[in-house]
């Protein structure tokens, strides 16, 4: 599971909600509890040290930070806070004259998928949810951090992770400019199972004692939710006639991947449903209606064993996936099937008999004996007719381009359809003979 990647949302929440359903909260901390008294954290939250660093984690009410002019908290008036309040100024800082850094950890959160089951939704009766039933969750929290800005090194590090400090799902440092706004952090989907236990770790590390007279770090509304459903495949590589497509796919044979949501279960395993809702799928390409969960890869996969396209074409279609909670996600794909010998030649011209636009002195020279002999005897070695830029000369060979004035003209090919070769490199080559009066 790659937890290093992180999606930070400011205005994107609406888009995600549309793309993957609203998701459902299975655990949430608002830090609003009235006991224990501030600055203590709610019960279950634990702090631990990084080395000998000072522990400044606690809980704060926005009223205590009256001198900061902060935006209102995501929920209520309280939040978790790494820092200390100066009562005289109503401002916060983490300046201890030495390294200020500590870790704090959520209570053990037991994944209870039954909390995600909508009682109005009969598709997933809670009775089917047994220990070990898989699902994807995501961690969300709101963050407001104000620390030193120093792009040449990593100080005042703020990070969040599940179990491995080296794989944070969110990390910022002095290299990232602070913004005095709340931003919502949403982790990538994390594969868990019913009754798994997870803890969420928030770590602040100033690294040293310099430049620590800043507000610090505020956290609010930590949530574990069912992750929205999403198709992870970004695009489909192009196919080639008579060439087995499975070899083009990476990993081999895996046409689509998806994550998020809660799967259904049948005798084969856990799956999400999939269907093509619009567009045209290439003939005989087998898009499965069940994408099974690969627990090692931590994704749902639509696998094909073979597909050998028989004719070129360009296809576009939209797929919709759906999980056991009726969450849906859609994506549109374009698939190009190239002709077998496509790349060697899309278009060749040896006749110049039709379709070409010729202006100025450009004209078709059909016979070899029409090629100019003056001022040089032209031998093009071309097979058949050529296009030449020179003056015609009745029944005698062409000659010169001397019109007594400036002369120019265009030789323009007919339209060449390259739409079947989208994504391919196009190169144009031509043979030419250039002399005093002719091109061939
Ligand atoms: Ca709150
Ligand atoms: Ca610092």
d(CA 39, CA 57) in angstroms, rounded, equals 9
Centroid of ligand 2 to alpha carbon of 215 (angstroms): 11
Ligand in closest contact with the CA of 147: 2
Q: Ligand 2 center to residue 147 CA distance, Å?
A: 7
In the chain (440 residues long), the average pLDDT of successive 10-residue segments reads 40 36 77 94 88 87 97 97 96 88 86 75 68 96 97 95 92 96 96 96 93 96 95 95 94 97 94 98 96 98 97 96 93 94 70 87 84 74 81 82 85 83 65 56
User: Can you tell me the distance from the alpha carbon of 141 to that of 395, in angstroms, rounded to the nearest whole number?
Assistant: 86
Provide the pLDDT for residue 368. Answer: 79
Contacts made by residues 309-312, CB under 8 angstroms, sequence distance 24+: 309/239, 309/240, 309/241, 309/242, 309/243, 309/245, 309/282, 309/283, 309/284, 309/285, 309/337, 310/241, 310/242, 310/283, 310/284, 311/241, 311/283, 311/337, 312/241, 312/337, 312/338, 312/339, 312/342, 312/420
pLDDT of residue 375: 66
Q: Which ligand is nearest to the CA of 178?
A: 2
Ligand nearest to the CA of 60: 1
150 C-alpha to center of ligand 2: Å? 9
Contacts of 164 (CB under 8 A, 6+ apart): 3
Distance 157 CA to ligand 2 centre (A): 9
- Which ligand lies nearest to the CA atom of residue 94 in the structure? 2
Ligand nearest to the CA of 204: 2
Calpha distance 192→227 (Å, rounded): 11
Measure 31 CA to ligand 1 centroid, in angstroms. Answer: 5
Domain with CATH 2.60.40.10 in the chain: 230-338
The ligand placed nearest to the CA atom of residue 32 is: 1
Minimum-distance ligand to the CA of 97?
2
Please tell me the number of the ligand nearest to residue 73's CA. Answer: 1
CA–CA distance, 32 with 28 (Å, rounded to integer): 11
SS3 at position 4 = coil
List beta partners, residue 190. Answer: 137
Q: How far is the CA of 102 from the centre of ligand 1 (A)?
A: 21
Distance between Cα 213 and ligand 2 center (Å): 8
Ligand 2 centroid to 246 CA: how many Å?
52
Indicate the fold that domain 230-338 takes in CATH: Immunoglobulin-like (2.60.40)
In three-state secondary structure terms, 421 is helix
Number of the ligand closest to the Cα of 76: 1
For residue 219, which ligand has an atom nearest its CA? Answer: 1
Calculate how far, in angstroms, residue 204's C-alpha sits from the geometric centre of ligand 2: 11
User: What is the distance in A from the centroid of ligand 2 to the CA of 58?
Assistant: 19
Burial letters 291-318, b for 16+ CB under 10 A, else e = bbbbeeebbbbbbbeebebeebbbbebe
Kindly give the distance from the C-alpha atom of residue 60 to the centroid of ligand 1, in angstroms, as a whole number. 9
How far does residue 96's CA lie from ligand 2's centre (Å)?
A: 10
Distance 126 CA to ligand 1 centre (A): 31
User: 50: Cβ–Cβ under 8 A, 6 or more apart, which residues?
Assistant: 101, 102, 103, 203, 205
Query: Among all ligands shown, which has an atom nearest to the Cα of 182?
Result: 1
Burial of 114 (0-12, 13-18, 19+ CB in 10 A): middle
- pLDDT for residue 119: 52
CATH of 6-226, one of 2.30.42.10, 3.40.50.720, 2.40.50.40, 2.60.120.200: 2.60.120.200
Cα→Cα distances 237→255, 322, 363, Å: 10, 24, 42
Looking at all shown ligands, the one closest to residue 222's CA atom is 1
Report which DSSP code applies to 261. Answer: S
Cα of 24 from ligand 1 centre, angstroms: 19
Q: Where along the chain do the CATH 2.60.120.200 domains lie?
A: 6-226
Residue written as tokens 């084969």? 268
d(CA 269, CA 288): 14
Query: What six digits make up the tokens of 69?
Result: 């002019």
């Amino acid at each position: 599971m790659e937890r290093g990647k992180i999606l930070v949302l400011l205005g994107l929440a609406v888009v995600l909600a549309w793309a993957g359903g609203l998701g459902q909260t299975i655990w949430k901390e608002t830090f609003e509890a009235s006991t224990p008294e501030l600055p203590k954290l709610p019960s279950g939250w634990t702090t631990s040290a990084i080395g000998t660093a000072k522990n400044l984690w606690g809980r704060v009410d926005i009223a205590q930070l009256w001198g900061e002019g902060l935006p209102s908290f995501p929920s209520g008036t309280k939040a978790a806070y790494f820092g200390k309040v100066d009562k005289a100024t109503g401002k916060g800082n983490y300046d201890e004259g030495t390294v200020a850094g500590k870790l704090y950890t959520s209570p053990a959160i037991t994944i209870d998928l039954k909390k995600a089951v909508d009682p109005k939704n009969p598709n997933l009766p809670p009775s089917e949810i047994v220990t070990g039933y898989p699902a994807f969750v995501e961690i969300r929290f709101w963050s407001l951090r104000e620390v030193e800005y120093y792009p040449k090194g990593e100080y005042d590090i703020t990070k969040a992770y599940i179990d491995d400090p080296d794989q944070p799902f969110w990390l910022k440092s002095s290299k990232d400019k602070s913004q005095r706004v709340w931003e919502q952090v949403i982790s990538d989907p994390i594969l868990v199972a019913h009754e798994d236990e997870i803890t969420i770790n928030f770590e602040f590390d100033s690294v040293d004692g310099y430049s620590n007279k800043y507000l610090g770090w505020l956290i609010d509304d930590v949530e574990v939710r069912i992750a929205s459903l999403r198709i992870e495949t970004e695009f489909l590589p192009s196919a080639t006639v008579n060439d087995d497509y499975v070899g083009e796919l990476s990993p081999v044979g895996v046409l689509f991947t998806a994550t998020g949501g809660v799967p259904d279960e049948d005798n084969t395993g856990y799956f999400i449903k999939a269907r093509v809702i619009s567009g045209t799928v290439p003939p005989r390409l087998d898009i499965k209606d069940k994408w099974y969960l690969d627990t090692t890869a931590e994704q749902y996969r639509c696998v094909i064993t073979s597909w050998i396209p028989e004719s070129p074409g360009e296809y576009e279609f939209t797929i919709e996936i759906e999980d056991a909670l009726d969450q849906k996600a859609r994506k549109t794909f374009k698939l190009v099937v190239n002709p077998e010998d496509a790349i060697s030649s899309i278009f060749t011209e040896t006749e110049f008999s039709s379709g070409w636009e010729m202006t100025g002195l450009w004209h078709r020279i059909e016979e070899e004996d029409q090629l100019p002999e003056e001022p040089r005897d032209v031998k093009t070695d071309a097979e058949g007719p050529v296009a030449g830029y020179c003056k015609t000369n009745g029944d005698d060979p062409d000659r010169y381009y001397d019109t007594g004035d400036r002369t120019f003209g265009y030789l323009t090919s007919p339209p060449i359809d390259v739409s079947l070769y989208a994504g391919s490199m196009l190169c144009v080559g031509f043979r030419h003979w250039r002399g005093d009066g002719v091109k061939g």
